[in-house]
Amino acid sequence: MNILAIGDIVGDSGTDMFLDHIDELKEKYKIDFCVVNGENACSNNGITRKKAEMLLSAGADVITLGNHSFRQKEAVHLLLNNECVVRPINYPEGTPGRGFTVVQKNGKKIAVINALGRIYLDYCDCPFKETLKAVESLKADIILVDFHAEATSEKISMGYYLDGKVTAVFGTHTHVQTADSRVLPKGTGYITDLGMTGPYYSCLGVKKDITITRFLSCIPQRFEFADGPSQLNGAVFCVDDETNRTKEVIPVAIWPNAR
Ligand SMILES: [Fe+2]
Ligand SMILES: [Fe+2]
């Protein structure tokens, strides 16, 4: 079984990039299952029902979120009513929505867990303990973990913490793809960050002039997503059908015709 994980979809251009390329990626890599991080799918971050439905009907099986999960008001309704959309599992008790979901696909029960890091991010419960608790309670053939976090050390530690217990751990949130995809010693596929699907000439999706101005002054700036061509980032996890362990991780990156 081959699983495609796509890094943070940023705005309309990132959504269009996914819609334009998902069919060819599914064909090229013989993809059976697709997870997409959609926490920045709307123009001012977060996700709406309309955006979620666009991504799901185009070919995503599950959408994960992150620190922008509740940026859009209607996300609460979406998370309560759509089992294919998950928010971080380590949000405080009582937070609407689910931290994992289980989907039946091609004869396998596939669980997707979303967790949020604690370094430079919102205060939340321990991602390690909450994720492990879910892993141990889940009855699934394949478990995938989207660890939405800033610090590489926190993400790499999560990879080793779950090595052999889950099929794959992939990071999201930094919007920059890391060159460290690998299979960990006990068979868990890993990459520190999948990268971003969104505006190429940008700072993490945001107009570069805005972020430069922010760094040159102490005045907060209103962020806007950049225009122009888009990139697509993600990774393919090739999974052994007998053991449900990852055999190979293939980073995926489609760039515009950049100069
Ligand atoms: Fe993001
Ligand atoms: Fe994020």
Separation of alpha carbons 107 and 90, rounded Å = 29
Ligand nearest to the CA of 9: 1
Give the number of other CB atoms < 10 A from CB of residue 122. 12
Domain range for 155: 2-254
CATH of the domain at 104: 3.60.21.10
How do strand 100-105 and strand 85-86 relate by DSSP bridges? unpaired
Lowest mean pLDDT among 9-23, 165-179, 208-222: 208-222
Q: Does 32 fall in a domain?
A: yes
Q: Does 149 fall in a domain?
A: yes
**Residue 31 Cα to ligand 2 middle (Å):** 25
**Residue 107 Cα to ligand 2 middle (Å):** 32
Q: Calculate mean pLDDT across residues 69-94.
A: 97
Separation of alpha carbons 240 and 141, rounded Å = 11
Provide the whole-model pTM: 0.97
Ligand nearest to the CA of 38: 1
How many folded domains does the chain comprise?
1
112-169: per-residue pLDDT in tens?
999 999 999 988 999 999 999 999 999 999 999 999 999 999 999 999 999 999 999 9
User: Rounded to whole angstroms, what are the CA distances from 111 to 37, 108, 137, 180?
Assistant: 15, 10, 11, 24
Separation of alpha carbons 245 and 188, rounded Å = 6
Q: Does 143 fall in a domain?
A: yes
Q: Does 37 fall in a domain?
A: yes
Looking at the annotation, which residues are catalytic?
A: 68
**Residue 242 Cα to ligand 1 middle (Å):** 34
Q: Does 109 fall in a domain?
A: yes
Separation of alpha carbons 81 and 77, rounded Å = 6
Which residues are within 8 A (CB) of 250 and not within 5 positions of it... i.e. 6 or more apart? 29, 181, 235, 236, 238
Residue 257 is predicted with a pLDDT of 75
Q: Does 107 fall in a domain?
A: yes
**Residue 162 Cα to ligand 1 middle (Å):** 23
Q: Does 259 fall in a domain?
A: no
**Residue 37 Cα to ligand 1 middle (Å):** 8
Separation of alpha carbons 161 and 135, rounded Å = 12
Residue 231 is predicted with a pLDDT of 98
Q: Does 213 fall in a domain?
A: yes
Question: For residues 20-44, b (16+ Cβ closer than 10 Å) or e, as one string?
Answer: ebbeebbeebebbbbbbbbbbbbee
> pLDDT at residue 19 above 80?
yes
Ligand nearest to the CA of 197: 1
